[in-house]
Structure 1
Amino acid sequence: MTHSTDSNQTLFERAKALIPGGVNSPVRAFRAVGGTPRFIQRAQGAYMWDANGRRYIDYIGSWGPMILGHGHPAVLEAVQKAALEGFSFGAPTEREVELAEEIIRHVPSMEMIRLVSSGTEAGMSAIRLARGATGRAKIIKFNGCYHGHADSLLVKAGSGLATFGHATSAGVPPEVVQHTLVLEYNDVAQLEEAFALHGKDVACVIMEPIAGNMNFVRAGVPFMRRARELCTQHGALLVIDEVMTGFRVALGGAQSLYAQQIPGFRPDLTVLGKVIGGGMPLAAFGGPRAIMEQLAPLGPVYQAGTLSGNPVATACGLATLREIARPGFYEALAARTRALTDGLTGAAQAAGVDFCADSEGGMFGFFLLPRLPQNYPEVLTTDGARFNRLFHGLLDGGVYIAPALYEAGFVSAAHSAQDVADTVALAREVFGKL
């Protein structure tokens, strides 16, 4: 298909007249990198096609959910069948129960679960539940970690906020965030000091086990271990936000990886999203029965949602989870992802470009830095102008990565060895011009 005019640009002009910034989520904007957002027309497997008919190897994967790639036959069949039966009922369905059983089977820290429609909703509800269960007001979060756009969490939240240079969001009164303590990620001493000062008032610590909104930064094992110990000691809840990492880095999520290194480790509450919906709007939060039974209609903590657990989304998520639970799935996905990060690292080194990368399962990140950063201030030392040139070089060559240096990337089971080889070959060419 050929176009005499740039359909992306035409669509963007129409969108800007109707939608703030021309996008319905800031992370889709190209304002940080410059240029025109690509308006995607269709996707299949590891590829997306824009409004000009241009094909891209897709390393965004709808920001993580498309772990099987786009249009997987089993998922597509499940969604089509569900849609024929009805979009939404406002009443319980068997599939909600089946999805809950499937999730809990793989994440043993969760005895009960509540399905919702977005990661923001799940994170916000988990914090409300933590406050209700403990009777405390203060929460601890970490600089650069993003847990959705609920008011009390929009404090140094990374990702899209960082892209536009804002430490917080307008429209959030100071009194709304007065109970939110923001600490540096991976700083054990600071965490200990916060509990020493405020321990009796802390309802929960919420953290991403791998922070995917400052690209890809792991919580160190000593940091995670100390967070668990301090929460237990002071009667606070440890909330692990696995919206991004859940079923993406391992079948049991990132918490299963920490449990291998920290005996008896498990969070008090887990927040899930993305992969569990397979590309449909679906998220969840869950934990031990004693905590979850504090939720309405059993307990005093109110949470509700008209489309929670809707039948089409649960069909999509359930089909996805059943596919990825097949033996060998994660080993193959992790190997393909490592091949990509190793190839990119080699290409950068050959060009004399500072570069480092990390990955787990089907999630990866890279930095134009000589070594992996451990917290948000270190991430901010990345050369933004050089990243922008890298982004456009890859995009022009048909490789689509996140249009912001603060976002992790995602490999799917549909990415082939040839896709990775093509990506690395293009990157070698682009690095040579940086």
Structure 2
Amino acid sequence: MNNQKIFEESKKYMPGGVNSPVRSYNGMDIDPPVIKSGRGVEIVDEDLKKYTDFVLAWGPMILGHSDYDVVEAIKTASEESIAFGAPTKRELEMSKFLCDNLDAVEMVRMVNSGTEATMSAIKLARGYTKRDKIVKFAGCYHGHFDGFLVEAGSGVLTEGIPGCLGVPEGSVSNTLIGRYNDLNQVTELFRKYGDEIACVIIEPVAGNMGVIKAEDNFMEGLRDLCDKYGSLLIFDEVMSGFRAAFKGAESLFKVTPDLITYAKIIGGGLPCGAYGGKREIMECLSPLGGVYQAGTMSGNPIVMAAGIETLEKLKANKDTIYPKIEKLSKMLKDGVLELGKKYNVPLSVNRVCGMMTIFFVGGEVKFYEDVKKADEGRFKRYFKHMLNAGFNIPPSQYEALFLSSCHEEKHIEEFLKAFEEFLKKEN
């Protein structure tokens, strides 16, 4: 079966033919390729067309696809176990690694996804503070938990969904919406509701309204507000953890959060999530405390094996992997901006290490409103051109490009060559 036949058949058994909306290419007026295999930075679809991958499973594959050592770790673990729903040594190894290497994590709880990590962290914050309200930021996407689906980024923006059907009004009545990088607006929220706010959750490097890094004074102001009003500060590092830097985006700021959530990279490509933070707060979780959260597959031994191998490899090579990705990311950004000027096409590029977004809008992009001014028609034409040229990029203006340790300068040069061809057609 080829791409088209597989996708058409999939529509009979899965809504839209997919298990996550952005994969459907809805709004791009084309069907998605159906991926068959991947190695390094190359993926191959069922029609045997090859693509240089700048999506990397939406971030996790920082070592590239099918890294030999990760695959071997999975093989070894699978020969010993599939699942127990019981304590294992690999759970300890993963938890110890996270606590020993992340400055803000004293205890951790493993889960199975980013959504599970963020919703559990919110529940813990509410249980610890005995308050109900939360502050999230317009354009930030923290998963499909009911309380987050207000002014969410990512797929909700791509699909043009104002919120989400199936979410009762009561589920979002305790969600307050902040304006990313606007400390004055958030200060007003605290003045009005401060004694009711359990926590503030934020992507310190937003990746679901395109890449936007929080400003230093904004983050410091959030920490001050949370301290003043007795609220918790939660960093959602599902995307930026071990990607923005080895120690994640938390290491880019002079701010220590109370809780942090992780997923993506920590699973080495397998389903995984975690949330952790201060011991005093984490000990409120059952079986020590009264905040209940459980999961049969949490800490699954095969997932732990893939994650540990990935993280150990990143740690052992952090002085080469992260500088390489930084260099290539800068090369890509500088090249795109130079071509934009050459062909007089308004665009802006935001990047943090191996995360980057090209916005088809002139001027600086640092607010949610700036993102919504981007030319989506031009983005659609760019997306189709790059896909036809053999580059797998996100099918949404509101997502990020990702780079891996397997990318080389030749891949950047090839991307820029194809991008220039697109800009020529736009003139």
TM-score tier after normalising by the smaller chain length = over 0.9
TM-superposed deviation, 1:104: 1.8
Q: Deviations over 1:367-405 (max 9, x none)?
A: 011223222221011111110000000000001100011
Match of 1:298 in 2: 288
2:302 matches 1:307: no
- Alpha-carbon distance in structure 2 between the residues aligned to 1:226 and 1:395: 42
Tell me the SS of whatever aligns to 1:168.
Answer: coil
Query: Which 4+ stretches in 1 moved above 3 angstroms?
Result: none
* Residue equivalent to 2:266: 276
Aligned residue identity for 2:29: G
Report what 1:373 is aligned to.
365
Aligned counterparts of 2:4 and 2:114: Cα–Cα separation in 1: 31
Tell me, in whole angstroms, the C-alpha distance in 2 between the residues paired with 1:194 and 1:365: 30
Match of 2:53 among 38, 55, 58: 58
Is the Cα contact below 8 Å between 2:213 and 2:352 reproduced in 1? no
Distance 2:425 2:341 in 1: 13
Report 1:394-405 matches (<5 A).
394-405=386-397
Query: Alignment partner of 1:71: what SS?
Result: coil
Consecutive unaligned residues of structure 1, counting only runs of 5 or more, are 1-5, 260-264
Contact between 2:284 and 2:290, CA under 8 Å: does it hold in 1?
yes
Sort the Cα spacing of 1:245 and 1:14 in 2 relative to 1 into closer, same or farther, 3 A: same
Following TM superposition, by how much is the alpha carbon of 1:339 offset from its aligned partner in structure 2, in angstroms?
Answer: 1.2
In the TM superposition, what is the alpha-carbon distance from 1:248 to its structure 2 partner?
A: 0.5
* Deviation digits for residues 153-197 of structure 1 (CA, Å, limit 9, x no counterpart): 111111101111112100001011100001211111110000000
Contact conserved, 2:118 with 2:142, CA < 8 A, in 1?
Answer: yes
The one-letter amino acid of 1:25's match is S
Give distance in 1, aligned partners of 2:176 and 2:149: 12
Paired residue for 1:130, among 119, 125, 132?
125
Tell me the secondary structure at the aligned position of residue 27 of structure 1.
helix
Deviation per residue, 1:245-302 (Å, 9 max, x gap): 000110111010112xxxxx20000000101111000110001110000000000000
Show CA shifts across 1:96-153 (max 9, x none). Answer: 1111111122211110000000000000000000000000000000001000100111
> In structure 1, what is the equivalent of residue 71 of structure 2?
76
Which of 210, 214, 219 aligns to 1:215? It is: 210
Q: For residue 92 of structure 1, what is the aligned residue in structure 2?
A: 87
SS at match of 1:359: strand
**Distance in structure 1 (CA, Å) of the matches to 2:91 and 2:353:** 27
Pairing 1:192-207 to 2, within 5 Å after superposition? 192-207=187-202
**What is the one-letter code of the residue matched to 1:49?**
V
In structure 2, the gaps of 5 or more residues are none
Structure 2 partner of 1:48: 43
Is 124-133 or 156-165 further displaced after alignment?
A: 156-165
Per the alignment, residue 255 of structure 1 pairs with 250
Q: Aligned pair 1:116/2:108, yes or no?
A: no
Q: What root-mean-square deviation, in Å, do the aligned CA atoms of Structure 1 and Structure 2 show?
A: 1.0
1:229 aligns with 2:224: yes
Q: Which amino acid aligns with 2:103?
A: P
Task: Count matched residues.
Answer: 424
Identity %, equivalent residues:
43
Write the distance in 2 (CA, Å) between the matches of 1:233 and 1:28. Answer: 43
| Preserved CA contact (<8 Å) 1:394 1:426 | yes
Task: Answer yes or no: is the 8 Å Cα contact 2:140–2:153 preserved in 1.
Answer: yes
- CA distance in 2 between partners of 1:36 and 1:348 (Å): 28
TM-fit CA distance, 1:74? 1.0
* Counterpart AA for 1:81: T
* Matches for 1:286-365 after TM superposition, within 5 Å: 286-325=276-315, 326=317, 327-365=319-357
The 8 Å contact of residues 124 and 150 in structure 1, kept in 2 or not, is answered as yes
One-letter code aligned to 1:282:
C
What is the identity, as a one-letter code, of the residue corresponding to 2:53? D
Shift of 1:223: 0.9
Instruction: Please report the TM-score for the alignment, with normalisation by the length of structure 2.
Output: 0.98
Separation in 2, partners of 1:373, 1:356:
7
> What's the secondary structure of 1:163's corresponding residue?
helix
Separation (CA, whole Å) in 1 of partners of 2:121 and 2:180: 20
Q: Take 1:165 and 1:232, find their aligned partners in 2: how far apart are those partners?
A: 36
Alpha-carbon contact 1:106-1:251 (below 8 Å) kept: no
SS in 2 for 1:215: coil
- Alignment of 1:27 onto 2:19: no
Q: How far does residue 410 in structure 1 lie from its aligned partner after superposition?
A: 0.4
TM-score after normalising by structure 1: 0.96
SS of aligned partner of 2:346:
coil
